[in-house]
Amino acid sequence: MMLVQKYTDAKGILLPDAPTWSSFQHYFYAHNYHKRPQKIIARDGLSHYQRNCRPAFGSASRWRESPGSYQMDATQGDLYLVSSLDRSSVVGRPQIYMAVDSATQLIAGIYVGYEAGERAVMACLENAASDKVDFCRKYGIEIQPEQWPSRGLPGEIITDKGREFTGSRMEELCRRYGVELLIQPPFRPDGKGLVEKAFDLLQQRYKPLLRGKGVIESDAQERWAVDYRSQAVLTLEEFTQIVIQCVIYLNSGRVLQSGKTPAQVWLKAMRWLSATGSATGSVTTSATVWKVQDVPSKELHVLSLPREEVKLTRKGFRLHALSYVPQNMDGLYLGDTYTLAYDPLDLSAVFLIGKDHDSRIPLAPDQQQYQGLSQAEAEICREQERQARKQAKAAETQASIQTIQGIQKIVKEAERRRQE
C-alpha cells in the first residue's frame, strides 16, 4: 500500500527509488510502530482498540455481496408519548427495533412499541417478511412497492448478544426456516455498523421537527432542565406514522455513494439473483449468496406471538379470564398442560403450539362478545360488565328490600285487622 501511494508515477509504474521490503521492515521496527497497538490495548483495552483504532479496509456494504443478510438491533426513542385514550397521561418512551440489509443498506423491517424482548424481535422480523404496501396502508400511508421492496425472511441475521436475540424463540425460527444467526462480540457495535447508523439517521430525521413535542434534549439530566414529559403530544400510532415516513425516505429518497437509493440497489440485486438463479443461497467463488425466502405470513405471525402454559379442563383452556374450546380433542387430554400462543391485539382465538403443527382454538360460545377485541379492550369490556353486575346487584337488593317491606306491611295490616 505504501508503494502504491508513495512510489508510483502517474502511469502506475514503480519508481526506481522505491524501498525494498527489508528496508521497510527495518524502518517499521526501528521506530517501534509494531508496539503502538499493544500500547493502546494496554492503556484503553482491547475493545477500544478493535472499535476505534484497528485498520479498517473496504466498506460495510461490501461485507456481504447480496441481499438477505440483515443486521438487527434495538434502541429507545428519544421522546415521550401519551396515551391514545387520555392524551393528558404520559405512557413513556417507545422501543424501536430495526433490521437493515448488509449489502444494500435497505431498512427491511421495523417495530415501534412499548414492548422490549423476544416479542418485539419477532414482530420486527414479521414486518420484514410482510408486504410493506399493506403495512403502510394500515397507518394511512400509501406507497408504491418499489419504495419499500423488501419482503421475506433473511438467510442470515447479524446481531449482538442481547437476550432477546439469542432466546428460545429466535432458535426456533432459525431451526424452522434455516436462518443463520451470527452473534457479534460484546462492546463491538462496529460489527453491525449499518443498523447503528440507521438509528442515527432515523433520529436525526425526526428529532429537529419534534422539538417541544416531547423530544428529549441533551440537557435532560441537568439542573433546571425542562421536564420533557410535560411536552409530550404524540401517541404511539402517530409516532409510528412518523417513523414510517422517515424509513420511506431513507429507503427510497436517500442517495448512496453509488448514486442510487437503497431501494434501487435492492431491486437491481434481486433482478441479478433472479437472472442468475442464485436466489437459493448457493456458495459462489467470491462470496456466499444469501437468500430472502418468502414464508406464510400466518405461520410467522403465530411464531411471533407470546406464549403461556395452560392446563386443559372440562371447560376448555382458561387464559386471561377467557375460555377457549378446542374443536378437535384428538391428542388432547384433560389435566395436561399445553403451550398456547395468543395475540394481545385479537383475542378471537389462541393457537396450540405442537411439535408438527399449530392449531387454532376459538373462543367459547358463551364469550363471543369478546370476538375481535384486543387485550386492553377486553379488560375495559370486563370492567363495564363488572360495573353493570354491581348495579344489577344493587337493584336486586333494593327490589328485595322493597319486597320485604311490602310483605311486612301486609302482615302488620292483617294483625291490626285481627285485633279489631
Number of folded domains in the chain? 3
Residue 136 falls inside a structural domain: yes
Whether residue 386 is contained in a domain is answered as: no
Distance CA 186, CA 162 (A): 9
pLDDT digits 0-9 by tens, 232-281:
899 999 999 999 999 999 999 999 988 999 999 999 988 888 787 655 44
Q: How many CB atoms lie within 10 A of CB 236?
A: 17
Pairing status of strand 95-101 against strand 69-76: antiparallel
The amino acid present at 129, given as its one-letter code, is A
Radius of gyration of the chain (CA): 31
Question: Are 234 and 293 contained in the same domain?
Answer: yes
Q: What is the CATH number of the domain that holds 364?
A: 2.40.50
Whether 15 maps to a domain, the answer reads no
pLDDT of residue 324: 92
For residue 56, the model assigns a pLDDT of 66
As a whole number, mean pLDDT of residues 375-401 equals: 88
- The percent helix, strand, coil of the chain (3-state, each to 5) is 45, 20, 40
**Sole residue written with cell 384428538:** 330
Note whether 44 and 178 are same-domain residues.
no
Whether residue 252 is contained in a domain is answered as: yes
Same domain, 76 and 129: yes
Same domain assignment for residues 206 and 344: no
The answer to whether 328 touches 352, Cβ cutoff 8 Å, is no
In our burial notation (b when 16+ CB lie closer than 10 A, e otherwise), range 316-342 reads bbeeeebbbebeeeeeeeeeeebebbb
Confidence of residue 221 (pLDDT cuts 50, 70, 90): low
Same domain for 41 and 113, yes or no, is no
Decide if 77 is inside a domain. Answer: yes
Rounded CA-CA distance 342/351 in Å is 6
- Considering the domain architecture, whether residues 86 and 124 belong to the same structural domain is answered as yes
Residue 357 is part of which domain span? Answer: 305-370
Same domain, 277 and 309: no
Residues contacting 217, CB < 8 A, separation 6+: 211, 225, 226, 228
Q: Is residue 391 part of a domain?
A: no
Out of 301, 327, 344, pick the residue that ends a domain: 301
Name which residue leads in pLDDT, 134 or 419: 134
- 293 shares its domain with 332: no
Q: Give dist(CA 383, CA 216) in Å, integer.
A: 36
